Amino acid sequence: MKTIIEPFKIKSVEPIYFTTRNQRLDIIKKAHYNAFLIKAENVIIDLLTDSGTSAMSSAQWAGIMIGDESYAGSNSFFRFEKTINEITGMPIVIPTHQGRASEKILFAVLGGKGKYIVSNTLFDTTRANVEASGAEGIDLLCAEGKIPSVLAPFKGNIDIKALENFINEKGAENIPLCIITVTNNSGGGQPVSMQNIKDASRVCKKYNIPLYIDACRFAENSYFIKKREKGYENKTVREIAAEMFSYADGCTMSAKKDAFANIGGFIALHNEQLATQCRNLLIITEGFPTYGGLAGRDLEAIAIGLNEVLDEHYLQYRIRSTEYLSEKLAAAGVPVMQPSGGHAVYIDAKEMLPHIPVDKYPGQALVAALYVEGGIRGVEIGSLMFGKYDSNGKLIPAMMELVRLAIPRRVYTQSHIDYVAEVIIEMAKNREKIKGLEITYEAEALRHFTARLKEAN
């Protein structure tokens, strides 16, 4: 087969600024070994996140110019609403300024003390919003999803048996919703199968629990279903997405992911009564229901992006380019999560740095080393992000210690990715020199964003 090429031409570019290894040693120290605290201009290849970092298309930029900035009843809102109605089949669309604002509103209405929100894996902001409402977030990931080295097609699936057991144990009346994250960001960008969504929907219906989809990467998930699930090979990605949404009562989405937008999000749903409660909160926290914290031009860019992401040439390139990096690393013996996820490659830091104990944050140590060696910025998805303390102040580590290299959409070319692979492979050869880290400051919630660390002795 011929090389799968980037299905776009570059019309506008921005410079990359270069730093030396010595400069980066100084920069990471001053940033307290937290990559979130580094200035973007000091990063050569920025794989911190695929969120809001997409390159917008010329069509989206044109949409920016025709955005209707009317406070109420903007044309751009109606195009946004119609696009989401068409893709999800959900009649009610509530715009928000980003994914977590959707979560905040939904869980403020449905969550609360004594309630449980069940999921395949809650993303960090989702979990934080569940917990902020007083409810408890429960991850019921399938067994194969918990082992980074296991090859399986749908490692993002929710464990259906565990779901039903949990409902029976806690009582359906204490579970206001089940939310399935597609693809499973915190669990390695792994997809969820249609069968699994169907099964989860059947269980939820049996107990009268609404099923929601965290739809940030719905198009990538749909493409994986097309490629990996029997019976979907001849369906369009749009048809697959429509079927996926048909099993759900509602969804939340961050438009900063699969909508190629730099900001934005929404809640879509069927339940008019719930929508009214959400809109009442929306007006206090985000804005009037036809703009919800966004400018008209953002609504326009999102509407255009949501249609562009369903282009199968794009999705083929997207999934293949992630796989390309993953394959290069795996071939050189770097332990990566298998198979590669949709939007990111995940390095298994526990396996790569066995000399660093989990309470010295091997993932974060790897993030720091990656920056020093190549100016590459990744993010830890491990015990810095998800760790908790027991009553004696001892770390309860996360399930896995991963470093995520998220690939911004349509931003980097193959040679950028080749450079990333070269740096990591070189670094892996000197892995025993990488030192563990200790926390010197941490916030109560979402500590990884602002934590300060130092090298452990």
Ligand X SMILES: *Cc1c(COP(=O)(O)O)cnc(C)c1O
Query: By the criterion CB under 6 A, which residues form the site for ligand X?
Result: 51, 98-100, 123, 125-126, 181, 185, 214, 216, 254, 256-257, 265
Residue 394 near residue 413, CB atoms below 8 Å: no
User: In which element (H, E) is residue 106 found?
Assistant: helix 99-110
DSSP 158: B
The residue sitting closest to ligand X, measured at its beta carbon, is: 99
Closest approach of ligand X to the CB of residue 36, in Å: 13
CA 225 vs CA 160, 230, 263: distances in Å? 18, 8, 27
Which residue lies nearer to ligand X by CB, 24 or 343?
A: 343
Closest approach of ligand X to the CB of residue 452, in Å: 23
The Cα–Cα gap between 445 and 124 comes to 10
Which residue lies nearer to ligand X by CB, 33 or 123?
A: 123
Q: Which residues contact 417 (CB under 8 A, 6 or more apart)?
A: 321, 324, 325, 407
Closest approach of ligand X to the CB of residue 221, in Å: 11
Token reading at 5: 């090429």
Instruction: Write out the DSSP string of 345-399.
Output: EEEEHHHH-TTS-GGG-HHHHHHHHHHHHHSEE-EEESHHHH-EE-TTS-EE--S
Which residue lies nearer to ligand X by CB, 60 or 221?
A: 221
Which residue lies nearer to ligand X by CB, 128 or 423?
A: 128
Closest approach of ligand X to the CB of residue 394, in Å: 29
Which residue lies nearer to ligand X by CB, 199 or 220?
A: 220
Which residue lies nearer to ligand X by CB, 182 or 365?
A: 182
Closest approach of ligand X to the CB of residue 185, in Å: 4
The Cα–Cα gap between 306 and 328 comes to 31
Closest approach of ligand X to the CB of residue 49, in Å: 8
Query: 413-429 burial, b for 16+ CB within 10 Å, e for fewer?
Result: eeeebebbbebbeebbe
